[in-house]
Amino acid sequence: MNGSFSSNGFGNPFDFGSGGRGGPGGAIWEAMDQLRNAFEQRIPTPRMGRGDVRAAVLALLAEQPMHGYQIINEISERSGGTWKPSAGSVYPTLQLLADEGLIEAVEDNGRKTYSLTEAGREATAEDKQAPWEASASRPGAHLAALPKAGMELAAAAAQVGRTGSPEQVQQAVAVLEDARRKLYAILAAD
């Protein structure tokens, strides 16, 4: 184990304790290790620049008022999970935009909701391409979601293996086999 999972604070989803690898279902653990290793070989993904956070915030607020957490989640969703800016980049950007008079914050029940001012609407009227749309056209951007999805699949399969009944494990194996066939069918379609 290289410790890549322990850094997220959730522990290692592939640590099966004493009942795992040596037990009767040891083959699934080996398969999960292979899948994990395949996806740990990080595919370089393009990093977003500082101006991209600013542009993304303005693009979202041009659509509707939002609070900071909504902005972070919306950027992640619109980028297909390939870009999730941190609170440490979004909230200072919101403050900077407020200082520039482009957005304003209204506090309601302890939560600030941000919206464009008239100056902010004028600044976004040029309507450039949103950063998540531009990032989708960068080389390698389409590859970023695949390792994440593979790791999430491996973690879910490991959870079924650790806590599922024998019937649930059999169902999970069938789902994984079906997924494998479908993935190869995608390649065969080209």
Q: Are 14 and 54 in contact (CB under 8 A)?
A: no
pLDDT confidence of 18, banded at 50, 70, 90? very low
pLDDT at res. 73 = 92
Long-range contacts for 101-108 (Cβ within 8 Å, ≥24 apart)? 102/58, 103/57, 103/58, 103/61, 106/65
Q: Which of 38, 29, 52 is nearest to 146 (CA)?
A: 38
Q: What does the pLDDT average to over 33-60?
A: 66
pLDDT at res. 117 = 94
Q: pTM of the prediction?
A: 0.51
User: What is the Cα–Cα distance from 121 to 117, expressed in whole angstroms?
Assistant: 6
Residue 76 has pLDDT above 70, yes or no: yes
The span from the first CA to the last CA of the chain, in angstroms, equals: 36
